[in-house]
Structures are given as structure tokens and as C-alpha cells.
Amino acid sequence: MRYDNVPTVCPYCGAGCRLYLQILDQEIIGVLPVKSHAVSQGKLCIKGWNAQEFVPHKDRLLKPLIKRNGRFEEASWDEALEIVAKRLKDYPPEAVAVLSSAKCTNEENFLMQKFARVVLGTNNVDHCARLCHASTVVGLVKSFGSGAMTNSIPELENSKCILVIGSNTAEQHPLVARYIMRAKEKGATLIVADPRKITLTHFADFHLPQRPGTDVALLNGLMNVIISEGLENKDFIAERTENFEALKDMVKKYTPDKVERITGVPKDKLIQAARAYAKSPASAIVYSMGITQHTTGVDNVVSCANLAMLTGNIGKPGTGVNPLRGQVNVQGACDLGALPNVYSGYQSVADENIRKKFEDAWHVKLPPKPGLTVVEMMKEAEKGNLKALYIMGENPMVSDPDIGHVKKGLENLDFLVVQDIFMSETAALADIVLPAAAYAERDGTMTSTDRRVQLLNKAIEPAGESKPDWLIICELAKKMGSREFDYSSTSDIMDEMARLTPLYGGMSYERLRVRELQWPCPTKDHPGTPILHKEKFTRGKGQFLPIEFKEPAELPDEDYPFILTTGRTIFHFHTGTMSRRVSALNREVPTGYVEINSKDAEKIGIKDGNVVSITTRRGTIQIKTKITPRVNEGVVFIPFHFAECAANILTNPALDPTAKIPEFKVCACRVEKG
């Protein structure tokens, strides 16, 4: 008899809670929270408490599958990898692409981008960060020089004022909400800017219900009040920032009256919230998809950065601009270079010196031109320019906007490989499906939203013949003739990552085994960095960028009178491949629904629980109604987890011009009976 508690990281959101998997004789018998963990402190949300259930699920993929005559047949690893290796070689580098995964480890993401660049010879590598925080990475780099959460989660507890904008924190990052609630109970002022009456609004001092897509106007309005009342931090602006005058000129126009007209937020509330934020000794901004998933995603992010710099709320405990990342390792997947324009540590592929460094390390000539992003890949596939796609642990058939076109794109590929733990909606379209090991079955590291690198420990053997993703990549690379994928363990991979990536330079398994490290951690004796931009910004001076308000790409009109906005619930996660295989979560929420205000429901003549059709210019879905005051009149909300009533059949694939993030949060729709 052998019992053990194996410390790992919860596989869901970016809060990065740690938990023990309880193992009795190679079987997971339960989950225990880790009391000593800095963030989770022995607490978990419902998803974390049930994180073990999907691991041994009967639907797990246990053998490689090859599609022949439209049907999947089981195959050996050797046969399946042989075909993948041979087929991928058939295409020129610009006609192949890979999607890496925010559910996989840092090591696996590092290897995936290395595989794309070294073996396939392409920078066509991206992952779903494109769909959640691409605008954060771009926006915060412009303003600060570093595109990540500036402070640490537990610090929020000591904030004196917290502005939560576009983040349903209690549901999407429950253990982050813990610290917001603790701050509130210690007397902090809580401002919640959200079109919906989300859980946190019950506790907010000010709820600013902006019309979806008007965040820039709202943030400019707050800055207008602060400057016109002389509440800006003049010392901080003078010493630490540049380009203030341009910002000052621009926000002049955004008077409370004008902002009320654009956003629908009463001007009195706006003024009071602005004063509270500016006057508190430590104010923090917390944001998430409500800011990023817009055609103005970068503008929204930059406006948050402007507001924080204006009041000097950067570089001190309990302050900062704090984007909450959606998936457990979406921070790490970006950090380790699963992006088309950068290697690990945000080192540009276009920079000759950097490219030379990686070429020397990997003994190969590397392509200088940045590759395709997720949504562009789907468009190129539909046009027939992209021929082969290798997807590791992602499910664009539910996660991407305008699924109708995603499907056309994927079906138009010559060759699609999907590596996953379940037969996802995307895997079903593949030519080859490779069974991957689940989080409990592998070693590696993950980086949570506050740049906290944490160790995953293998608790049990992989199900069936499934293998950890890093091992699959190595075996495939070797089959394709590369000698650059010889690793004996994930610790080996970390050592290479550390050598090539200054942000992770001082990290090793030896150190991470006993404590987490927050990047930047450049040297072996560096303790890690809980707060960024303390003495100076990563880029030197913080840069104010004046941003004008722009309307969303698609606005309601006569034919499509409602605004559709999408998001998640606490009881499920993303495309549901994991959470919808957990009984406790299905009992809470078995399928999708559309939230609609009672006045709108009355006008259309529908009751709670009725099935309605929701139609946009992309498509139609049938879905059950939930009549609730959570949404205002004129706005409907659909959680996007559910393939059978997929919100993303409806969403608009219009992109932010620089970050290429789609506008999941606003499109125009029509609601009809039946």
C-alpha cells in the first residue's frame, strides 16, 4: 500500500492555486488544498476541489488514432508519428503552423515553439493567448516595457482602492477575488466597472455599468476628473513618465457629461469613483477579458496603464495594473515564446542579434519574419494558403470567434494533427489524433498570472498509451531528423530555457522544488520579483499614450437590436473539455443559457427557461433563457463553454489592429422566440 500527497498546480485558471493530489496505489482518490501556498492558502474554488475527476475519465484518449475513410482507427505510436513526420515535411515552411497550449507546461511550450522554428522552419506558432490577453502583452509593453501583471495577487489585500474593470473576478479568478474581498473588509474602496451586475458589484462602493465596448471613454472620463481636480501625482509624472502633456490635452474632451452620454455611467458616480481612486494611498486596477477582447483591446489596456501612471500607482505594494490571465499557464506559454513574433522571454525574431543567439544554440538557420496569429491561421487555411496545422491541447472549434469559418478553415487543411487528452470538437476534425498525458501525469512548470513559476509533479502514470506533450514533441522532432530534442527530463528543458531566456535565467528545478519564483529572475541568486517597475519602468520611463474612444466594430441596429457579450461562469472552464466531465460542475450548470433582462424578455414575450434563437451576421444558435437583472436592458450575455449552444458561432472575428485579438465582448444580435 502506498499513499502520497503530490503537490501540483490546479489545471484551470491563472490564479495558480496549488493542490495535493492524494494518491493511493497509483490511483487519485482526492484533492487537498495546500495550506502553505502564498496565493491559495489552503482554499480552492469548486473547480479546484474537483480537479481530479476528469483525469481518469472514460473518455480519455488512450491510443494514437489515424483517420481512414472518415473513421478513426487505433494505431501504434510509431505508425502515427511516422505519418505525421512524413506529411509535415511535404509542405513549405509558410504552409505549416502549430498551435501551442496554455494548458501545457512551460517546457512543452518552449519545445513546441522550438519545434516550429527549428524543425518546421516557420514562425507560424501561436496559442489561445491571442484570444485573451494579446492586447495586454502589446499594450503594457508600449506603456511600461513589460506585458505582465505588475504586482502580486496577495498584495491586493493591502490595496486601499481597487478598480475592477472587465473582470468577473469572483467567478473567473475566485482566489484572486478572495484578496479583493479581504481588502474591502479592511476598509478599501471597491469600484466595479462592468456592464453586468457581477458578484463583486454586490460589495462595490461604486458600480459603473458601462455600455459594452466603451471602456476607453470611461477611463478617459476618470482621468479627466482627476486632472481637472488636480488629483494627479505630479512628482511621479515628472520623474517616472513621459508624454503627459499629450494625454492631458486629449482627456480634456472627455468631460463627465460626454462620458455619461457615451458609456451610460451617471456622471456623479464617475466623479466619485475617480476621486476615490486618485486619493487613496494605494490603488490597484484589476482587469481581464472585458478590457482585452475588443477591437480596441490594446487601447483599453493602454488607457488602464495611463490611469495608473497618472496617479503614481505603479511600483508600490497594493497598486499596479493587474491583468488576470485566464488559463493556468497562459502567462508561461507567452513567456516561453509560443507567439509568432518572439522567442522565449519576448525576444524578437526580427532582431538579428537575438536570432543569432538562438541559431547558435540550436545549430540551425531561423526564419526572420514573424508568423501567423491564431485567427489569421484560420483565415489562411480557408483561403488554402495554410496546408497543415499541428494543434497541441487547444480547441478552436469552441474557443475561436465565428466557429462557422473556423470549421471551414480546418476542413480545408490538407493535414491536421491534434494532440489532446480528450476527443475535442477540434480533434474530431483531425487526420491524426495523439493522446496526451493530463496534468496529473507529468512533470513541468507553470507560470501563473502574477508571474509565479511553480512546479508540477507527476502523480500517476499516464492513462493508457498517452504521453506527456514534451515527450511527443521530442519523439516527433527526432523522427523528422532533428538532433536538438535530446532531453532526459523536463528539468533538462528548464535548464535550456534558463540559458536562453533572461527572465527565467536564475530558475532551476532545484530552486523551484522548495519555493515558487516570480520573474524576472535573471540569476541563480536572484530572489524573484513580486513587484515590477519599482525604481524604473522596464522601458525606462513610463509612456503616456493618448487614446481616443472608438466604437466597437459592430453596433446594434434595426435588424440586430441587442448587444451580445460573452464570458464564463465559475462552474465551467473555457471549452469544457475538462470541466464538463466533472459531475459536481455539471450538476451546477449542465448546459448553456442566455442572460436577458426581464424588460427585454417581456417585450419579446419569453419566459425564464424558454428556448430562444439568437442570431448574428455569423450564425444562429438555440439556447435556454435565464431572465435576470444581472444584465441591463439591450444587452444579452452567453457563457461560451457549451459546444451545443456555442456563443462563438455568433461572435465577431473583427480584430484589434495590432494585437489581432477578436472582439468577443461586443457584437450585435437578435433574440427571437423558439
Binding residues for other proteins, per CB under 8 A? 1-5, 7, 20, 22, 24-25, 29-36, 42-46, 48-50, 53, 170-171, 174-175, 177-178, 181-182, 185, 199, 202-203, 513-515, 569-571, 583-584, 587-589
What DSSP assignment string belongs to 196-256? S--GGGGG-SEEE-PPTT-HHHHHHHHHHHHHHTT-S-HHHHHHHEE-HHHHHHHHTT--H
The residue among 281 and 590 lying less far from other proteins, judged by its C-beta, is 590
Q: Minimum Å distance from CB 516 to other proteins? A: 11
Q: Minimum Å distance from CB 460 to other proteins? A: 15
Q: Tell which residue, 538, 460, 599, 655, has the closest CA to residue 144.
A: 538
Q: Minimum Å distance from CB 645 to other proteins? A: 15
Q: Minimum Å distance from CB 450 to other proteins? A: 17
The residue among 225 and 589 lying less far from other proteins, judged by its C-beta, is 589
The residue among 488 and 583 lying less far from other proteins, judged by its C-beta, is 583
The residue among 44 and 377 lying less far from other proteins, judged by its C-beta, is 44
- Would you tell me how many other CB atoms lie within 10 Å of the CB of residue 186? 11
The residue among 175 and 532 lying less far from other proteins, judged by its C-beta, is 175
The answer to whether the CB of 226 falls within 8 A of the CB of 278 is yes
Q: Minimum Å distance from CB 581 to other proteins? A: 12
The residue among 49 and 439 lying less far from other proteins, judged by its C-beta, is 49
The answer to whether the CB of 139 falls within 8 A of the CB of 298 is yes
Beta bridge partners of 638: 566
Q: Tell which residue, 611, 619, 626, 612, has the closest CA to residue 651.
A: 619
Largest Cα separation within the chain, whole Å, is 72
The residue among 31 and 98 lying less far from other proteins, judged by its C-beta, is 31
What DSSP assignment string belongs to 118-186? IIS----EE-THHHHTHHHHHHHHHHTS--S-SS-GGGGGG-SEEEEES--HHHHSHHHHHHHHHHHHT
Q: Minimum Å distance from CB 60 to other proteins? A: 16
Give the CA angle between residues 88, 89, 92 to the nearest 5°: 95
Q: Minimum Å distance from CB 439 to other proteins? A: 17
The residue among 511 and 670 lying less far from other proteins, judged by its C-beta, is 511
Q: Minimum Å distance from CB 219 to other proteins? A: 27
Using alpha carbons, list the distances in angstroms from residue 608 to 315, 643, 645: 48, 21, 17
Q: φ and ψ at 395, to 5 degrees?
A: -135, 70
Q: Are strands 71-74 and 65-68 parallel, antiparallel or unpaired?
A: antiparallel
The answer to whether the CB of 149 falls within 8 A of the CB of 15 is no
Residues near 39 by beta carbon (within 8 Å), at least 6 away in sequence: 15, 16, 17, 18, 153, 154, 175, 448, 450, 452
Q: Minimum Å distance from CB 506 to other proteins? A: 18
The residue among 141 and 512 lying less far from other proteins, judged by its C-beta, is 512
Q: How many distinct helices (H) and strands (E) make up the chain?
A: 24, 30
